[in-house]
Structure 1
């Protein structure tokens, strides 16, 4: 990206910060939140309620940020392409950032369904609750890698 394109550089900087922030937020859910939930001797209902609180907070923020950030990366890629600037890193960053959505639907949604109530409170055994919460944390760490990759690709493109 040419340094003489200030609005484009600002837009790229915002997306780079947003994907880095999303990566940190997603990672912190698994690295700090899940072990905290699992560490105590709380009954399964309490563990699932704590996980649900964390899950719903993340669900209200992260998918929207991922989609908007992907669109912004793709717009930046298009504008760079139209100005004969390097654009591929931004396009790939958009794809990487957006990939959080299909990853969630493919790999994590079933675990979510097993822990989220449908009309009434679900009761899980302590072993089931611990196993599902740990599985969700592990899958979420893998999902957090995606915006980290997007951040790296965008930074690479930005520094050209």
Structure 2
């Protein structure tokens, strides 16, 4: 499989950024609101499930904060108005690698949120 140049990788990243951002923003808001309301509703009848859904909400809040504080500065550099287009291939590849590593942290947090939500559902069904 041929290797893409850093400029091609940047073009692909830019093409996908806006649709992905819109989807992810909606999902984190929906997931946070739904898990918070579910945790609140289950607090008396099923505390274990409520705690799981509370953990889901907390993970989503972490995802939002991490995205805004750590990933968005890199995103701004990668966007057309940023300085990524002026970097040499090595610098651009390094910036894209940094973005990928940060995105990996966010993906792990998303998996934790999903796991907590699934455990909450299990607690509801097992009762």
Q: 1:119 to 1:136 in 2, by over 3 A?
A: closer
Q: Distance in 2 between matches of 1:119 and 1:65?
A: 26
Which residue of 1 is the match for residue 60 of structure 2?
97
Q: Distance in 2 between matches of 1:98 and 1:64?
A: 13
For residues 26-85 of structure 1, the C-alpha deviation after alignment (integer angstroms, 9 at most, x for no partner) is: xxxxxxxxxx9x932x3x43321111122222112111111111100001111112x522
Higher RCO (Cα < 8 Å, 6 or more apart) = 1
Q: Distance in 1 between matches of 2:84 and 2:100?
A: 22
**Residue 90 (structure 2) pairs with residue 127 (structure 1):** yes
Q: Distance in 2 between matches of 1:89 and 1:70?
A: 12
Matched-pair contact (CA < 8 Å) for 1:70–1:98 = yes
**Structure 1: tracts of 5 or more residues without a match:** 1-35
Aligned to 2:46, the other structure's residue is in SS state coil
Matched-pair contact (CA < 8 Å) for 1:73–1:94 = yes
Q: TM-score, normalised by structure 2?
A: 0.82
Q: Distance in 1 between matches of 2:77 and 2:87?
A: 9
Shift, 1:120, TM fit? 9.6
| Counterpart selection for 1:69 from 27, 31, 43 | 31
**Structure 2: tracts of 5 or more residues without a match:** none
